[in-house]
Amino acid sequence: MNPAPNPVERVFRNAGVSGWLHAVDIDSGREVGLRADEPVVLASVFKVPLLLELHRQAERGLLDLAERVRVTSADRTGGGTGLAAMLDDATLSLRDLAYLMMAVSDNAAADVLLARVGRESVNALLDGLGLTATRVVHDCRDMLTSLWVDAGVADQAAVTQACADPEVVARLRALDPARSNRSTPREMTRLLAMIWRDEAAGEASCAAIRRLMALQVWPHRLASGFPFDDVAVSGKTGTLPTLRNEVGVVEYPDGGRYAVAVFTRSLSTAQNQPRADAAIGTAARTAIDQLRTHI
């Protein structure tokens, strides 16, 4: 007789996705994992270490978070939210660009910030924190360009249509952890735990990062597993064709706080993936419930 599947694995199977997860009690270190050390594509989750490096450079006086930057419409990275979806030139501070990057996953804001702090500086930060499996290898513009090239099309609208074909999806470099921004579920929860314990940067910087992650507007993934007014969910999503991700921290009114990282990939090439979205919240809740049974 085959053993019963892991409860978290069962959630992923029922949703028709492959899944990777790590959840950890930030204060006790108790953990639950499923393929927690396997490489995964970050997609927009890479904006978390980028935000951390932005604040650490501000701590060292290398930049001023109130510095105002003009983002022109002509050279703006594409995307469906924030500046990436707007039509006119705009001038914002670095910290307000960071807000857009985290709250609505604005690709244009992220690329302005990555150009300002430097991609290699983000990777040096990750090395310094011992997160050697986590790498930022490209910005959003280069990632989008690789999609167009690999799909053999000329713009984002055509990519969406082309990616209905599984053969096109199979050749996208952006979906290969070896050739895209990458990490592991365990390294992402280690990063979040360091931010929540004020170890990744100064106390004020970590508080600012936590504030921005709490301002994310999307309720349909991680937050969907915790529909309670007194449970706080802070997170960052990531989305690419067939991929749906979110990493974040769930905080209970009794003081319990849990870092969780969930990454999924679907066989379906549908643009909308509500089952995968909901599975992220359900899997996270299943894992955290396991941790809380030992309180």
Amino acid at 90: A
Q: Is the pLDDT of residue 5 over 80?
A: no
Q: Once rounded to an integer, what is the mean pLDDT over residues 233-245?
A: 97
> What is the model's pLDDT at position 184?
98
> What is the model's pLDDT at position 134?
98
Q: Which two tokens stand for residue 7?
A: 């409860």
Q: Is the pLDDT of residue 219 over 70?
A: yes
Q: Is the pLDDT of residue 295 over 80?
A: no
Lowest mean pLDDT among 55-69, 72-86, 137-151, 216-230: 72-86
Residue 131: band (very low, low, confident or very high) from pLDDT cuts 50, 70, 90: very high
> What is the model's pLDDT at position 155?
80
> What is the model's pLDDT at position 3?
63
Q: How far is CA 177 from CA 70, 121, 133, 202, 203, in A?
A: 33, 20, 10, 31, 32
Distance between CA 92 and CA 105 in Å, rounded? 16
Distance between CA 277 and CA 255 in Å, rounded? 27
- State pLDDT tens for residues 16-49: 999 999 999 999 999 999 999 999 999 999 999 9
> What is the model's pLDDT at position 1?
55
- State pLDDT tens for residues 243-262: 999 999 999 999 999 999 99
> What is the model's pLDDT at position 267?
92
> What is the model's pLDDT at position 2?
61
Q: Once rounded to an integer, what is the mean pLDDT over residues 167-189?
A: 97
Q: Is 222:284 a contact under the CB 8 Å cutoff? A: yes
Q: Is the pLDDT of residue 292 over 70?
A: yes
